[in-house]
Amino acid sequence: MTRLPGDWRRGWAPLVTALVSVAGCAHINEASQQHELARTQGKYHVEIASDVESVAGRCEFVRNIVADDEPTFRPTDAELPDYFRTEAAYIGADTVVVRGRTAEAYICGPGPLNPDGTRHTPDPNPH
């Protein structure tokens, strides 16, 4: 049987698809593990503030956290403090300023947090 010039692609397509799927699953699994660390350990290292003046000028803004934009579930009002602290730890912030169902995440310490709550130490510079 003779193969046409484009037939080689059909043999490689399933292999390439499988490799991409495995790589995607590994990335999702790693993100899930990091989020679980933030939920079980890191959130206890995040401070909640109620006024922006307490962080103004001394902290670095990271990002806004909007509870209603959560795709998997919508946290209740009682779950909001834990939700904001978990999300802040996951993205490396150590302080959140809460404003209703939204929050602003900041880094106020010497560096960002790891999801487990430890400080992220920068890699040593090569000399």
Measured in whole angstroms, how far is the alpha carbon of residue 66 from the centre of its chain? 14
Where does the pLDDT of residue 12 fall: very low under 50, low under 70, confident under 90, or very high at 90 and above? low
Could you report how far apart the first and last alpha carbons of the chain are, in Å? 61
Write down the pTM of the prediction.
Answer: 0.72
> Greater confidence, 84 or 19?
84
pLDDT at residue number 87: 93
**What is the domain partition of the chain in residue ranges?**
8-107
* DSSP H helices in 2-123: 8-40, 80-91
CA distance 38 to 116: 5
Our separate counts of H helices and E strands in the chain read: 2, 4
> Greater confidence, 38 or 85?
85
> Greater confidence, 80 or 26?
80
